[in-house]
Amino acid sequence: MALPNGGAWFEAFIGLLEAGAVPVPIDPSEPECAQMEAASLAGATHFWREGEFVQVQLSRRRSQSPALCLVKLTSGSTGRAKALPATHGQMVADGIQICTTMDIAGDDSNLATIPLGYSYGLGNLVMPLLLKGTRVICASSPLPHALAADAARLCPSVFPTVPPILRALVESDLPRECFRSLRLVISAGSPLDAKIARSFLDRYGVRVHGFYGTSETGGIAYDRTGDATLEGRSVGTALEGVRLRLGAGGVLTVSSRAVLGRGRFRPPDRVSLNAFGELVLEGRADRAVKVAGRRVHLAEIERTLRSTVGVDDCFVYALGERDPAIVAAVAGRGSPADVRRQLRLRLAPWKVPGRILILRRFPVTGRGKTDFAALRQALSASRMATSISTLSADRQIAAHK
């Protein structure tokens, strides 16, 4: 089903469940070819789009377990999209864990800007409605003035959203009182810059609470007080009912009734625990390369970049399989030369990216996450890997301009 947020989405979703079908929600903003590719990946037999419901020859009809509730589709940010079957029990468990931890009740109203069919939307919007009766207000538009008008008219109390929308609200000219009905603002999907969290609190008087999860696990960690998000120190602590085990090398194992499959999953992120016992994301666990015989962890370079003056966000990438060249995309307002100069004070020479591409802000996917595929394409197109590794700083700046 490829339907926009709204009453028709819920009618289709619940109607399909009552008919014994297994819904596969996909992004209605994707082009038709991408929608059909997603349907094929999920093994769909029928396709429900706005205005039509058609049978398609993507797979043979086969009996399904009555425990199966829906199929989630991952964002494919790593280039390897997957179809993830989820049972009724797993979806209910995720909803209970989220509502209990975030204190979301039946008399709350959720302002929906994230798509209902994404894992974040299913856990924070769909399940609270089905379990608690928590009202869902489907925003007319994610643009700041439209959100302010919806909030003034319908008085939502909870706002699960993503960093790009929070940034837009902070940079807008909206009055402070336009979100006075909100008691809880949640940010997930990608890391939130602490400066945006502080600006949102100063501007609208509401704290932002960081939230971390995956499609395979549902919710994992949550910043209950908002302090960790304001300081940019972590994504909080485990949700109620979620058990975390930290292994060697920062490998995290998540266990709960909401985890798909056998109840345990290892997210592809390296993590650590800080002095507050909170979960700190250190970067992807599998992102290490050898440069001139030396092992380099790209997450280490990203951590250093994020603490560099003038850098709001960053993405470090290795171009080429043999003798790879390290390159970086930076969201900020500094210059490549200035960023490189700061890195040289804190990193070994072979860890400093050979090319730094400065962007005002990163592109995002329809899910509100950083579009890593677009960043990889931009970095790959900027120069041949062999050329990047030998360019001087001056030539790199000239090439970027």
Closest C-alpha among 176, 183, 240 to residue 208: 183
Question: What pLDDT score was predicted for residue 388?
Answer: 34
Quick check: is 193 in a domain? Answer: yes
Quick check: is 263 in a domain? Answer: no
Cα separation of 212 and 208, whole Å?
A: 13
Q: Select the more confidently predicted residue: 59 or 72.
A: 72
Same domain, 117 and 41: no
Does residue 393 have a pLDDT over 90? no
Does residue 4 have a pLDDT over 90? yes
Quick check: is 81 in a domain? Answer: no
Quick check: is 71 in a domain? Answer: no
Does residue 345 have a pLDDT over 80? yes
Same domain, 202 and 95: yes
Closest C-alpha among 233, 257, 229, 228 to residue 243: 257
The answer to whether 221 touches 228, Cβ cutoff 8 Å, is no
- Least confident stretch, 96-105, 247-256, 391-400: 391-400
Q: What's the mean pLDDT in 220-224?
A: 98
For residue 98, the tally of other CB atoms under 10 A from its CB is: 27
Same domain, 317 and 385: yes
Question: What pLDDT score was predicted for residue 164?
Answer: 86
Single out the residue in 187, 213, 245 at which a domain terminates.
Answer: 245
pLDDT in tens, 10-22: 999 999 999 999 9
Same domain, 102 and 57: no
At residue 176, what are phi and psi to the nearest 5 degrees?
Answer: -60, -40
Same domain, 369 and 328: yes
Question: What pLDDT score was predicted for residue 89?
Answer: 96
Quick check: is 272 in a domain? Answer: no
Question: Computed from CA positions of residues 252, 255, 260, 263, in that sequence, does the dihedral angle turn out positive or negative?
Answer: positive
Quick one: tokens of 120? 């974040």
Report angle CA 348, 351, 355 to the nearest 5 degrees: 125
For 150-207, strand residue ranges (E) read 158-161, 184-187
Same domain, 104 and 194: yes
Question: What pLDDT score was predicted for residue 399?
Answer: 41
Quick one: tokens of 314? 């960053």
Does residue 1 have a pLDDT over 90? yes
DSSP code for 287: -
Residue 308 CB-half CA count within 13 A: 30
CATH number of the domain residue 130 falls in: 3.40.50.12780
Quick check: is 268 in a domain? Answer: no
Domains: count for the chain: 3
Same domain, 240 and 344: no
Q: What's the mean pLDDT in 342-366?
A: 88
Residue type, 269: D
Residue type, 245: R
For residue 366, give its domain range.
Answer: 288-400
SS3 182: coil
What does the DSSP assignment read for 155-167?
--SEEEE-HHHHH
Same domain, 48 and 193: no
| 317 DSSP β-pair partners | 327
Residue type, 209: H
Q: What's the mean pLDDT in 136-144?
A: 94
The alpha-carbon radius of gyration of the chain (Å, integer) is 22
Q: What's the mean pLDDT in 189-216?
A: 94
CATH number of the domain residue 339 falls in: 3.30.300.30
- Least confident stretch, 106-115, 337-346, 358-367: 358-367
Same domain, 9 and 131: no
Single out the residue in 245, 280, 299 at which a domain terminates.
Answer: 245
Quick check: is 273 in a domain? Answer: no
Q: What's the mean pLDDT in 89-116?
A: 97
Closest C-alpha among 168, 166, 159 to residue 134: 159
- Least confident stretch, 111-115, 121-125, 143-147, 371-375: 371-375
pLDDT in tens, 142-156: 999 999 999 999 999
Q: Mean pLDDT, the chain, as a whole number? A: 87
Same domain, 117 and 230: yes
Question: What pLDDT score was predicted for residue 148?
Answer: 96
Residue type, 302: E
Q: What's the mean pLDDT in 164-172?
A: 93
Same domain, 105 and 224: yes
pLDDT in tens, 286-335: 667 777 667 788 888 988 898 888 898 899 988 876 678 899 999 988 89
Would you place residue 75 in the very low, low, confident or very high pLDDT band (cuts 50, 70, 90)? Answer: low
- Least confident stretch, 55-59, 88-92, 200-204, 377-381: 55-59
Quick check: is 69 in a domain? Answer: no
Single out the residue in 213, 245, 277 at which a domain terminates.
Answer: 245
Contacting residues for 329 by C-beta, under 8 A, at least 6 apart: 314, 315, 317, 356, 357, 359, 362, 375, 378, 379
- Least confident stretch, 9-23, 95-109, 373-387: 373-387
Largest CA distance in the chain: 64
Would you place residue 383 in the very low, low, confident or very high pLDDT band (cuts 50, 70, 90)? Answer: low
Of all residues in the chain, the percent with pLDDT exceeding 90 is 60
Would you place residue 40 in the very low, low, confident or very high pLDDT band (cuts 50, 70, 90)? Answer: confident
Does residue 246 have a pLDDT over 80? yes
| 332 DSSP β-pair partners | 311
Report angle CA 308, 314, 320 to the nearest 5 degrees: 120
Same domain, 224 and 351: no
Question: What pLDDT score was predicted for residue 298?
Answer: 86
Would you place residue 348 in the very low, low, confident or very high pLDDT band (cuts 50, 70, 90)? Answer: confident
